[in-house]
Structure 1
């Protein structure tokens, strides 16, 4: 059995251009923020990255950057997780199987913030939208892709949580509840698969990071006091790499207090 390394070691993982060589990795929300940084980093480590997002122009910009850097050719997969049906996600899985044969990893990064307001005043339509993108779609896409991940030698799924997922706070409403949900998915998927497959499900809390979502949530905050998405990538690469083949059911804080 592989020895578990500490979370400090995961955060300090020194990756190379071959850390993810020949792997096929899907990244949701790949057009911006942490998703964009992960897509570029994974490609820089040798992976073929499948760029999933709702804004074609942003995905094309990331694709072009990967091409400019001479990295493995990426693929663009436009999909709006707020409206995509389970049937569409299953069709996406069939497309990936046809074009690539298997899938080595999925980073569930896409999310929306919703409203910062008391639950008793929370708009039910907004609540449903946040839960759909941040939780329901994550479940449906994972379920659709599990057969492909099983075909890999050690398929890795990374969910994305938040500090308000682990410790819900007033006024964070649907966002906090959706992040509690993905932490629960990490635990349940792990318990249900760890004895019978090499699949691994882990969860990352990126912490306070310089992204557009963070700016919307904390408009008075100086973004230059925060780490960039690129600075928190070591844990993201580690969990996708073969070095983490025995790591299952972990919640990793990229910026522990």
Structure 2
């Protein structure tokens, strides 16, 4: 998983592409030759990404989209079908922390929004884009999870629950596409990285001691290439280990 694949002519959707892991992954995919359909909430962040992609010689389509707008996700699938007729790569990266709080203190609106972005939106993306991934000669779907999904630490219940749900969803999708389809599905645990979400969760942490989104991006890109043929696997970035779908040791 060290040599970047050639992704020339391939179409990639990346959610949460305006910053952090999504931004770095979108840029790395474009640098490898993919045309990136970059999804994010802020037009300014998407335009910054587009500038960097163009500087690297790549190309992108910018899609300002709030993932809680489920109808827009459906329209995305229709638009990609009309324009490209397929989708080669889906990187489900977007996520919300939802706040670190006792379960009894979580506001219902915060619960609903975090669940919508971290879990339901990924199901809606699968629902909308699965036919396009199957139309590719080598559809690849990668979803970002977290070690919080199985640690169940105090005050992390909301985020942990959404990521545990995501892992179950992705495991089921991998099982459904394992046979007789070109789709290969992977979960990725990025571990502690220097991101805005991590800073919000750990405000006293020295982020200069952490790896960055640019460090993990090539690993994610390797899972998106047609040469990656495994499915139903879990990649743990901190240990650089690939394993079956389960919590890392």
Task: Identify whether the pair has TM-score above 0.5, normalized to the shorter chain.
Answer: yes
Alignment of 1:1-257 (within 5 A): 10=1, 13-15=2-4, 19-71=6-58, 73-82=59-68, 84-85=69-70, 87-245=71-229, 247-256=230-239
Paired with 1:214 and 1:14, the residues of 2 have a C-alpha distance of 28
Q: How big is the shift at 1:38? A: 0.2
Q: How big is the shift at 1:68? A: 2.1
Count of matched residue positions in the alignment of Structure 1 and Structure 2: 240
Would the aligned equivalents of 2:67 and 2:73 in 1 still touch at CA under 8 Å? no
Residues 25-69 of structure 1: per-residue CA shift (max 9 Å, x gap): 000000101000000000111110100011111001101111122
Task: Give the secondary structure class of the aligned counterpart of 1:81.
Answer: coil
Paired with 2:119 and 2:126, the residues of 1 have a C-alpha distance of 11
Paired with 2:212 and 2:145, the residues of 1 have a C-alpha distance of 17
Would the aligned equivalents of 1:122 and 1:173 in 2 still touch at CA under 8 Å? no
Paired with 1:62 and 1:88, the residues of 2 have a C-alpha distance of 21
Q: How big is the shift at 1:93? A: 0.7
Paired with 1:166 and 1:19, the residues of 2 have a C-alpha distance of 35
Paired with 1:165 and 1:177, the residues of 2 have a C-alpha distance of 6
Paired with 1:172 and 1:162, the residues of 2 have a C-alpha distance of 11
Paired with 2:177 and 2:30, the residues of 1 have a C-alpha distance of 28
> Deviation above 3 Å: which 4+ runs of structure 1?
none
Going from structure 1 to structure 2, the CA distance change for 1:70 and 1:234 (only over 3 Å counts) comes to: closer
RMSD: 1.3
Q: How big is the shift at 1:237? A: 1.1
Paired with 2:54 and 2:216, the residues of 1 have a C-alpha distance of 23
Paired with 1:78 and 1:212, the residues of 2 have a C-alpha distance of 20
Gaps in structure 1 of 5+ consecutive residues: 1-9
Paired with 1:22 and 1:171, the residues of 2 have a C-alpha distance of 45
Q: Does 136-145 or 228-237 show the bigger shift?
A: 228-237
